[in-house]
């Protein structure tokens, strides 16, 4: 399958494609000498404990706040970082967890999925990065399984920038990040880190229990662009993993 065959791109709809230097000059990768085994030497935090991703198992049930995705529509603003494709999100969308508010900054793709639930592995994961006004980070992880064609993805995937450093800006095509999440947002909760350098600690992870579906062709398209970009499962380090029960 080629990208053009599966998802033809309307050239007239492309308003801007630019090449950015940032994001492709860092010296880490997902393979070889600069792959995950070498991250700790380049970024000390990557060798510390409490890292992400992890296997979700041995959880503890607890009553917790619901996740409220207060997302607005936003124009397509995709950037190929050479390691993933990010959809930048304009201001005004937020995740509310009880009294806490986190602003949505972007979401991006990993193939295969980084997190595992028990023995279940998934071909893809979408991670939604949020930050509170005080700088606290929260990432919502949505696992993707092979199944039916995802209607929301049909707006996004045809416009994904193929080349590292490319940005695709389409202000007249709007999406809502909420459409890339399951309707029921039951979740597992743990404390971890960014799953890539600089492996920033103190990240609040919310791994949704229910996966969404992408078709085999849609998953293959994402993988053909981002490659295999999943950090291996990290040690649990005696962390508590909460199985959130809605209050």
In the structure encoding, which two tokens stand for residue 181, read together? 């999440």
pLDDT of 76: 97
- Domain holding 78, by residue range, is 3-246
| Structure letter (DSSP) for residue 39 | H
Q: Is pLDDT at 181 greater than 70 in this prediction? A: yes
Query: Rounded to an integer, what distance in angstroms lies between the CA atom of residue 18 and that of residue 79?
Result: 9
pLDDT of 26: 77
Query: Rounded to an integer, what distance in angstroms lies between the CA atom of residue 203 and that of residue 80?
Result: 23
pLDDT (tens digit, 9 = 90+) per residue, 89-120? 988 999 999 999 999 999 999 999 999 999 99
pLDDT of 20: 38
Q: Which residue has the tokens 């380049």?
A: 42
**β-pair partners for 108:** 86, 127
| Lowest mean per-residue pLDDT among 9-13, 83-87, 170-174, 185-189 | 9-13
pLDDT of 247: 61
User: Residues of the chain with pLDDT > 70: what percent?
Assistant: 89
> Per-residue confidence at 83, pLDDT binned at 50, 70, 90?
very high
Across the range 188-197, mean pLDDT stands at 98
pLDDT (tens digit, 9 = 90+) per residue, 167-176? 999 999 999 9
Question: CATH number, domain at 7?
Answer: 3.10.200.10
> Per-residue confidence at 165, pLDDT binned at 50, 70, 90?
very high
Q: Which of 223, 130, 232 is nearest to 181 (CA)?
A: 130
Query: Rounded to an integer, what distance in angstroms lies between the CA atom of residue 185 and that of residue 69?
Result: 9
Across the range 143-153, mean pLDDT stands at 97
Question: How confident is the prediction for the chain on average, in pLDDT?
Answer: 90
- Domain count within the chain: 1
pLDDT (tens digit, 9 = 90+) per residue, 33-71? 999 999 999 999 999 999 999 999 999 999 999 999 999
Q: Is pLDDT at 200 greater than 70 in this prediction? A: yes
Query: Rounded to an integer, what distance in angstroms lies between the CA atom of residue 88 and that of residue 105?
Result: 6
């Amino acid at each position: 399958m080629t990208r053009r065959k599966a998802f033809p791109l309307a050239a007239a709809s492309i308003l801007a494609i630019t090449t950015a230097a940032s994001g492709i000059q860092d010296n880490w990768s997902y393979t070889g000498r600069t792959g995950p085994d070498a991250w700790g030497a380049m970024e000390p935090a990557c060798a510390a404990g409490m890292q992400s991703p992890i296997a979700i198992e041995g959880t503890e049930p607890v009553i917790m706040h619901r996740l409220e995705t207060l997302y607005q529509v936003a124009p397509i603003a995709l950037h190929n970082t050479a390691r993933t494709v990010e959809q930048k999100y304009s201001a005004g969308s937020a995740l509310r967890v009880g009294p806490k508010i986190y602003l949505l900054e972007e979401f991006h793709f990993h193939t295969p999925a980084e997190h595992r639930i028990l023995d279940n592995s998934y071909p893809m994961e979408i991670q939604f990065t949020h930050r509170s006004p005080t700088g606290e980070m929260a990432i919502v992880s949505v696992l993707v399984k092979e199944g039916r064609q995802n209607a929301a993805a049909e707006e996004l995937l045809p416009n994904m920038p193929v080349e590292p450093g490319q940005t695709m800006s389409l202000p007249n095509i709007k999406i809502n990040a909420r459409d890339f999440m399951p309707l029921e947002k039951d979740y597992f909760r743990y404390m971890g880190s960014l799953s890539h350098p600089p492996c920033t600690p103190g990240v609040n992870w919310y791994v949704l229990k229910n996966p969404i579906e992408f078709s085999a062709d849609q998953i293959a398209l994402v993988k053909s662009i981002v490659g295999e970009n999943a950090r291996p499962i990290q040690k649990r380090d005696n962390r508590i993993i909460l199985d959130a029960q809605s209050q």
